[in-house]
């Protein structure tokens, strides 16, 4: 059962993998249901509490949860604000025994890695016809996202240092990404030296701190393109870009499409359903 389902922004699917992008109103619910797939749920805005057979799982903004097949679950979304989440369902037949065992041992929730965010965006950015014309591509992105979750969980479990500085930085991105900042300013936010911050970002995100900032600004801009009627120039300004051209370049880098194409896909026939 689904309550208070506000908007389905995007969806790409093949026979055994589905990517989705959904906004729930305050107090939205989904279920109870029995999960049939491996499902990754990324919270972009808001939060979710999921009741499963062996307890509860809480997913906050910037986190991703892994749900396994065969378990009964009930999603309860934030009562205070809308919840925007993306998800990827992968049929168990795509996961070999080793991957299934790794999923069983992985934690229920981890922070969203830079690589996983990119894989989700690539999957969601595929046209609706991709599942018919190139189902292997959809499935490959889905299984890659699941493997990235497991890899990231294992990497963090084996890490010698807890990247508190990186979490502080990512939290700041979520609240202040549009504000002017250079490497020294970002290092001050994180509470470490610039050199240490560069090391942490390259190790855990695969990019420099400044590039991570621009990517955070771009993701924020992409959300505004899909969710609001602001012009491209207004979105660019609100997200910390000096010019619409600079913003457009970054949107193309991150999504492979222009800002107007990103909006058209979300608002066009089949790209937006109520």
What local confidence, expressed as pLDDT, does residue 146 receive? 96
The CATH number given to 2-157 is 2.60.120.280
Q: CB neighbours (10 Å) of residue 41? A: 22
Cα-based angle 54, 95, 134 (whole degrees, multiple of 5): 125
Q: What are phi and psi of 208, to 5 degrees?
A: -75, 160
Nearest to 208 by CA among 241, 223, 186: 186
3-state secondary structure of 38: strand
Q: Give the residue carrying structure tokens 């934690």.
A: 107
Model confidence pLDDT, tens digit, residues 97-152: 999 999 999 999 998 888 898 899 889 887 776 667 777 888 999 999 999 999 88
Model confidence pLDDT, tens digit, residues 57-71: 999 988 999 999 999
**What fold, for 164-267?**
Arc Repressor Mutant, subunit A (1.10.10)
Whether the predicted pLDDT of 48 surpasses 70? yes
pTM as predicted:
0.67
pLDDT level of residue 266 (50, 70, 90 thresholds): confident
Task: Return the domain boundaries, the chain.
Answer: 2-157, 164-267
Tokens of 255: 């999504």
Q: Are 225 and 235 in contact (CB under 8 A)?
A: yes
């Amino acid at each position: 059962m689904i309550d208070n389902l506000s908007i389905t922004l995007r969806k790409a699917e093949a026979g055994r993998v589905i990517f989705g992008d959904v906004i729930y109103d305050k107090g939205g619910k989904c279920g109870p249901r029995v999960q049939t797939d491996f499902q990754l749920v990324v919270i972009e805005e808001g939060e979710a509490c999921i009741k499963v057979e062996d307890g509860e799982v809480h997913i906050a903004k910037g986190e991703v949860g892994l749900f396994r097949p065969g378990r009964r679950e009930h999603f309860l979304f934030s009562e205070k604000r809308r919840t925007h989440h993306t998800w990827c369902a992968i049929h168990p037949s795509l996961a070999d025994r080793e991957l299934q065992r790794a999923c069983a041992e992985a934690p229920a929730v981890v922070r969203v890695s830079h690589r996983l965010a990119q894989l989700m965006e690539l999957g969601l950015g595929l046209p609706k016809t991709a599942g018919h014309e190139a189902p292997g591509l959809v499935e490959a992105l889905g299984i890659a996202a699941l493997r990235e979750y497991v890899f990231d969980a294992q990497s963090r479990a084996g890490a010698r240092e807890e990247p508190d500085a990186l979490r502080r930085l990512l939290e700041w991105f979520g609240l202040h990404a549009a504000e002017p900042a250079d490497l020294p300013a970002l290092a001050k936010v994180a509470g470490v030296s610039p050199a240490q911050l560069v090391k942490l970002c390259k190790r855990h995100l695969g990019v420099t701190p400044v590039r991570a900032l621009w990517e955070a600004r771009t993701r924020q801009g992409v959300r505004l393109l899909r969710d609001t009627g602001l012009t491209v120039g207004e979105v660019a300004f609100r997200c910390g870009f000096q010019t619409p051209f600079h913003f457009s370049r970054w949107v193309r880098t991150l999504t492979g499409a222009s800002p107007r194409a990103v909006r058209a896909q979300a608002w066009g026939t089949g790209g937006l359903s109520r």
